[in-house]
Amino acid sequence: NAKPTDFDFLKVIGKGSFGKVLLAKRKCDGTFYAVKVLHKKTILKKKEQTHIMAERNVLLKNVKHPFLVGLHYSFQTSEKLYFVLDYVNGGELFFHLQRERCFREPRARFYAAEVASAIGYLHSLNIIYRDLKPENILLDCQGHIVLTDFGLCKEGMEQEETTSTFCGTPEYLAPEVLKKQPYDRTVDWWCLGAVLYEMLFGLPPFYSRDVSQMYDNILHKPLQIQGSKTVAACDILQGLLHKDQKRRLGAKSDFLEIKNHVFFSPVNWDDLYHKRITPPFNPNVAGPADLRHFDPEFTQEAVSTSITHTPDLAASSSSASDAFLGFSYAPTEEGI
């Protein structure tokens, strides 16, 4: 199995609540990966181990989709967990959106279609994603979407099934989640609507600096669409951001309804899936070492030597080992 010393850790390229994401180069063949390094202690303290194991399980199922980040290996030491993932360096959608304020409709449609394709695939595996936001949508070096971060995914969600865990990111929470009501996979279509709205207008649909005001807006304020947007764009936003989950676009036949909406009529879904459509924006990266689309706040940070430190797994507390039993993964020879 893989271990930390198999890699040279070059740069910090991201941060989360449990650890960091680093650009790493595998010593044996020079392949670049993004390695997500998580601290077991922090995960156990916050009782998040089930989410981490769910993330690993979902990553293992992603291999077959063009717009989902792929897992190559996962391994652990007594103190840390390591996810070795596809390295994607076109930047977060959030980064580009901040820089350009908003996108024109054809570009927003292209990204929304690739994201919808990824979400539709997860739903076909009975997984709901629950954390769709511009920070979790990356662009690859050609400008295609790569959805990342599966820590809030919920597995085993059949078409009619509901769950009630309160989770997500404030700006993108669906009304039923805020009301702590049982919710289903249509929460992901609400989030798609919120992200599409933000791409077109520059801010999430019910945004307020005051979080309690924003929650009130999500629950009670009618959707406002200003400016000259096409009828199709207005219609899909109204459909995806319907406050009643049973009447929301996607409630009846899931991804099929999204696909067939007039807003997406210019999209050939087969060409989209096979990446035969040229992305509307090219990140123009010069190669793996080109970090121009990453926040300098991350890339200028020193890489901690503890990341390659490999304390003996046997010496770790049994509770930490037991909590992450079965975490490690290496592909079969055919898989490689």
Give the tens place of pLDDT for each residue, 93-103: 998 999 999 99
DSSP state of 255: H
pLDDT of residue 19: 87
Instruction: Give the mean pLDDT of the chain.
Output: 90
pLDDT of residue 321: 62
- Burial of residue 261, with CB atoms counted within 10 A of its CB: 0-12 exposed, 13-18 middle, 19 or more buried: middle
Where in the chain do CATH 1.10.510.10 domains reside?
93-273
* Bigger pLDDT: 306 vs 103: 103
| Spatial contact of 65 and 163, defined as CB atoms under 8 Å apart | no
Report for 60-64, 106-110, 149-153, 154-158: range of highest mean pLDDT: 106-110
45 annotated as ligand-binding: yes
CATH ID of 4-88+287-323, from 3.40.50.10780, 1.10.10.10, 3.40.50.1100, 3.30.200.20: 3.30.200.20
214: CB partners within 8 A, 6+ apart: 170, 171, 206, 207, 208
* For range 215-219, the mean pLDDT: 97
pLDDT of residue 63: 63
Cα distances from 313 to residues 79, 162, 310, in angstroms, run 8, 38, 8
Identity of residue 217: N
pLDDT band at 259 (very low <50, low <70, confident <90, very high): very high
pLDDT of residue 335: 46
91: closest CA among 32, 15, 35, 142? 142
- CB count in 10 Å sphere of residue 326: 9
pLDDT band at 83 (very low <50, low <70, confident <90, very high): very high
Cα distances from 61 to residues 68, 71, 150, in angstroms, run 10, 9, 11
pLDDT band at 319 (very low <50, low <70, confident <90, very high): low
pLDDT of residue 318: 52
Where in the chain do CATH 3.30.200.20 domains reside?
4-88+287-323
pLDDT band at 311 (very low <50, low <70, confident <90, very high): low
Over pLDDT 90: what percentage of the chain?
A: 68
**What whole-number distance in Å separates Cα of residue 89 and Cα of residue 285?**
8
pLDDT band at 165 (very low <50, low <70, confident <90, very high): confident
pLDDT in tens, 30-71: 999 999 999 999 999 988 888 898 889 888 886 679 999 999
- Burial of residue 273, with CB atoms counted within 10 A of its CB: 0-12 exposed, 13-18 middle, 19 or more buried: middle
Cα distances from 331 to residues 20, 75, 84, 318, in angstroms, run 23, 12, 12, 26
Over pLDDT 70: what percentage of the chain?
A: 94
pLDDT of residue 24: 95
* Bigger pLDDT: 177 vs 315: 177
316: closest CA among 41, 38, 4? 41
Cα distances from 58 to residues 67, 104, 123, 311, in angstroms, run 14, 33, 11, 28
Task: Give, in degrees to the nearest 5, the angle at Cα 22 between 16 and 26.
Answer: 145
Taking the alpha carbons at both ends of the chain, their separation in whole angstroms is 13
Q: Strand runs (DSSP E) across the chain, as ranges?
A: 7-15, 19-26, 32-39, 71-76, 80-85, 137-139, 145-147
2: closest CA among 100, 55, 81? 81
Among residues 29, 131, 140, 149, which one is catalytic? 131
pLDDT score of 214 more than 80: yes
pLDDT in tens, 176-199: 999 999 999 999 999 999 999 999
pLDDT band at 315 (very low <50, low <70, confident <90, very high): very low
Q: How do the residues of the chain divide into helix, strand and coil, expressed in percent and rounded to 5?
A: 40, 15, 45
* Cα pseudo-dihedral 14, 20, 21, 27, rounded to 10: 140
* Bigger pLDDT: 322 vs 249: 249
CATH topology of domain 93-273: Transferase(Phosphotransferase); domain 1 (1.10.510)
Give the DSSP per-residue string, 296-311: HHHHTSPPPGGGT---
pTM, two decimal places: 0.92
The question of whether 140 is a catalytic residue gets the answer no
Q: Which of 106-115, 117-126, 213-222, 299-308 has the lowest mean pLDDT?
A: 299-308
